[in-house]
Amino acid sequence: MSERNEGRKPKVENLAMQAPDGLDPGSRRSLLVARPSGAWSRFKRNRPAVLSVWLLAALLLLMVAWPATLRVAAFAGPNGAQFSQTYDPDHLSDEQFQPPGGRHWFGTDVHGRDLLSRVLCGAQISLLVGLVGAGVSLVLGVLWGAVAGYAGGRVDSFMMRFVDILYSLPSIIFVIVLITTLEGVLKKWLGGLAAPGLDRTVRLLFLFVGLGAVSWLTMARIVRGQVLSLRQRAFVEASRALGAGPAHILRRHIIPNILGVVIVYLTLTVPAIMLYESFLSYLGLGVQPPMASWGSLIAEGADQMNPIRIYWWLIAFPGGFLVTTLLALNFLGDGLRDAWDVRGGNG
Amino acid sequence: MYFIKRLVLLPALLLLISFLAFLLVHVTPGGPFDRERQPASPEIERALQVKYHLDEPVLKQYLRYLGLVWEKDPHGRWRHSPASFNVSLKYRSHTVADIIAQALPVSLSLGLLGFGFALGVGLPVGYFTAVRRGRWEDYAGSLFAILAVCIPGLVLAPLLLMLFALKWRLLPVGLWTSPLHVILPVTALGLYFSGKIARLLREGMLNTMSAEFITTARAKGLSETAVLLKHAFRLGVLPVVSYSGPLLADLLTGSFVIETLFQIPGLGLHMVNSSLNSDYTLTVGLALLYAALLVVLNLLVDFAYALLDRRVRYE
């Protein structure tokens, strides 16, 4: 590490949020960050993580390409139109509960819809909800945590008590209340003029807000702990002594130094939010039919369970996609964490 | 002293939580009677509202919830009106305490068993993956742990049901009556957390194993087992301990997915349904139960922390 680097991007102490204040500051859990180039080469050597990146990229490609193919095929003569109709995720047909086979690779569901198509279209919703929800939690958590940590004193303890109190409310009650409230407000606003498609989009938006709103707490705690410890470091004090204002200090010193932790924690938030979304869809609070997400597909499959015929593909395929994606995201998160040598992102 | 102070603060926190939860459920649109048969006339509906005091301002309703309302009776005397926290608005022949008393034991046993499963699987896996770092045991164990973390109960439970209960007919499909009924739900519930615990323990152990006092202990000539179990494990398990508090609070208050899929009459169902039904008092009651559990468990966690790591001092 060059000297210049040392001055700019110092090691950060004690990221471990779980450690109570009294824990020995000299203990070894206190390392972090530094040269991005080193981090990058470390990351590239982590085979599962690199594989995960490719897997996620492939999934993204498939997710975009499949609906596009269907759309294009509709214009390609009668055969193409037939093709695009058979595999349209919303097209109902008489071929109900077909097991996976040559015509329908993943089988069909209770309404005779092609499951492959529904899984791939569900991927859009699931990933979108995961990413946007994580984004919401990122913005809220980082702002809240950074302000609390930087302001310190009474402001800090007030803000963190607020987080503590939200923590001790069962999150499921909070989400249900939030989503139903937003819905009620919307109905009052829009009245009768809402277009049918709009309703679903808005429902999705609620999902983003609701999921973001319950998952920013840990991020806020982590960021606050970071900022708190950074604020007292010599290089920040030196900067302050040189006459730098809070904005400059935040931009030049605090934010670059918490970036690693935040990114790592973000990659672990996305799977958590995707899990939560599947849970909400199972409750019927998530995306509304005929829209599908992996969670709602699994829920539909679970509804069709009966002792006489076993429609395993209804659970196995969406579940498999969900598990694989979660796995890839977790490997990616672990890889980034190891590459940056960030500790305590597990919250 | 520190712990006493926190215990004293508990009622204040619960009061705050109850107020917040009360406000939250009251601002949500819709009332407890919305999903019922339409009353024969508006008068009946109004009478219902009046009977349960839903026509009053929220603040007064909250005071009534706590039993702090005195009202004039027809004779002009001030009378204390009974507290309403125990009156379920949805299951009107039951009290909130009744409902919780029925479901809590089931959720407690399911949650404790799930927690036991998570510890029973997670701790050994975490320990051995840390001790055998870089060898095949580590890779196998770590793979298991990360897989467990990525298979949600929502996926695992239906698959287990299809295989063991519907296809091979080895285990019962649902209900909560015999030890055989316990196996599938506990596995489905606990697997995720066992993975989580294994990962936390591995991480914690690896962090402690590089500390100087471990080298010292080795240099003193302690056997490897003693070093690992008495020193490394003792501190390495701390992250697991602090994770256990919130985890137990979650598990003990029920899990909706597992309970619906396996037809187990636990608290998780009420947790979700009460807020969907706008059953105000039941929701607040459950929120209080959860908060109380969380606070007490976190207190226990801190206590365990101080026992395990003597460097920790609370003030």
* Cβ-based contacts of B147 with chain A (< 8 Å): 323, 327
What is the predicted pLDDT for the residue at A193?
Answer: 56
From A111, A87, A83, select the one nearest A98 (Cα to Cα): A111
> pLDDT at position A342, please?
64
Domains of chain B (ranges, CATH numbers): 96-276 (1.10.3720.10)
Question: Residue B207 has which token pair?
Answer: 């962090």
DSSP H or E segment with residue B300:
helix B280-308
pLDDT of residue A84: 75
Residue A194: its pLDDT value, please? 54
Which tokens in the block code for residue A255?
């934010």
Distance from CA of A49 to the nearest CA of B (A): 13
Cβ pairs A/B, distance under 8 A: 146
Q: Name the pTM for this structure.
A: 0.82
- Confidence class for position B41, pLDDT limits 50, 70, 90: confident
What the block records as the tokens of B232 is: 């490394």
What is the Cα–Cα distance from B29 to A225, expressed in whole angstroms? 37
For chain A, domains (ranges, CATH) are 48-63+108-344 (1.10.3720.10)
- Three-state secondary structure of chain A: CCHHHHHHCCCCCCCCCCCCCCCCCCCCCCCCCCCHHHHHHHHHHCHHHHHHHHHHHHHHHHHHHHHHHHHHHCCCHHHHHHHHHHCCCCCCCCCCCCCCCCCCCCCECCCCCEHHHHHHHHHHHHHHHHHHHHHHHHHHHHHHHHHHHHHCHHHHHHHHHHHHHHHCCCHHHHHHHHHHHHHHHHHHHHCCCCCHHHHHHHHHHHHHHHHHHHHCHHHHHHHHHHHHHHHCCHHHHHHHHCCCCHHHHHHHHHHHHHHHHHHHHHHHHHHHHHHHHHHHHHHCCCCCCCCCCHHHHHHHHHHCCCCCCCCHHHHHHHHHHHHHHHHHHHHHHHHHHHHHCCCCCCC
Tens of pLDDT, residues A256-301 = 888 878 887 888 888 888 888 888 888 878 787 778 888 888 888 8
Reported confidence tier of residue B187, pLDDT bands at 50, 70, 90: very high
Whole-number average pLDDT of chain A: 78
Residues of A in contact with B154 (CB under 8 A): 278-279, 282, 295, 298-299, 302, 319
Which residue of chain B is at minimal alpha-carbon distance from A186? B29
Q: Exposed e or buried b for every residue in A138-168, given b needs 16+ CB within 10 A? A: bebbbebbbbbbbeeeeebeebbeebbebeb
Is the model's pLDDT at B197 over the cut of 90?
yes
Q: Do B154 and A298 touch (CB under 8 A)?
A: yes
pLDDT of the residue at B115: 95
Q: Chain B within 8 Å of A301 (Cβ-Cβ)?
A: yes
Which of chain A's residues have a Cβ under 8 Å away from the Cβ of B161? 305
Sort residue B221 into left (φ over 0), alpha (ψ -120 to 50) or beta. Answer: left
Confidence of residue B191 (pLDDT cuts 50, 70, 90): very high
The kind and range of the H/E element at B212 are helix B212-219
| Range in A63-77, A322-336, B30-44 with the lowest mean pLDDT | B30-44
Rounded-to-integer distance, Cα B69 and Cα B78, Å: 10
Residue B265, helix vs strand vs coil: coil
Of A174, A185, A312, the CB nearest to B162: A312
User: What is the rounded distance in angstroms from the CA atom of residue A121 to the CA atom of residue B21?
Assistant: 37
Most confidently predicted of A29-38, A272-281, B192-201:
B192-201
Which of B20, B199, B313 has its CB closest to that of A165? B20
Residue A83 has, within 13 A of its CA and on its CB side, a CA count of 15
The per-residue pLDDT for B122 is 94
Give the model's confidence band at A325: pLDDT under 50 very low, under 70 low, under 90 confident, else very high.
very high
| Separation of alpha carbons A39 and A9, rounded Å | 14
Backbone angles phi, psi at B310, to 5 degrees: -70, -15
Predicted confidence band at A174 (pLDDT cuts at 50, 70, 90)?
confident
CB nearest to B28's CB, from A177, A187, A278: A177
Q: Which of A175, A176, A179, A306 to substitute to test the interface with B, most B CBs within 10 Å? A: A176
A290 cis-preceded (ω within 30 degrees of 0):
yes
CB-based contact (8 Å) between A338 and chain B?
no
Determine which of A4-13, A185-194, B17-26, B265-274 has the lowest per-residue pLDDT on average. A4-13
Shortest CA distance from B240: residue in chain A: A18
Neighbouring CB atoms inside 10 A of B198's CB total: 29
Binning pLDDT at 50, 70 and 90, where does residue B120 land?
A: very high
CA distances from B169 to A311, B110, B215, B277 (A): 16, 22, 54, 36
Contact criterion met (CB below 8 Å) for B301 and B245: yes
* φ/ψ bin of A18: left (φ > 0), alpha (ψ from -120 to 50), beta (otherwise): alpha
Contact call for A298 and B151, based on CB within 8 A: no
Backbone angles phi, psi at A108, to 5 degrees: -130, 165
Q: pLDDT band at A314, cuts 50/70/90?
A: confident
8 A C-beta contact, residue A141 and residue A223: yes
Average pLDDT of B67-79?
Answer: 78
Residues on chain A touching B257 (C-beta within 8 angstroms): 279, 282
CA A127 to CA A303: how far, in whole Å?
23
- pLDDT tens readout for residues A4-15: 333 333 333 334
CB contact under 8 A, A184 and B30: yes
Q: Is A189 on the interface with B (CB under 8 A)?
A: no
In this predicted structure, what is the pLDDT of residue B40?
66
Contact at CB, A180 and B28, closer than 8 angstroms: yes
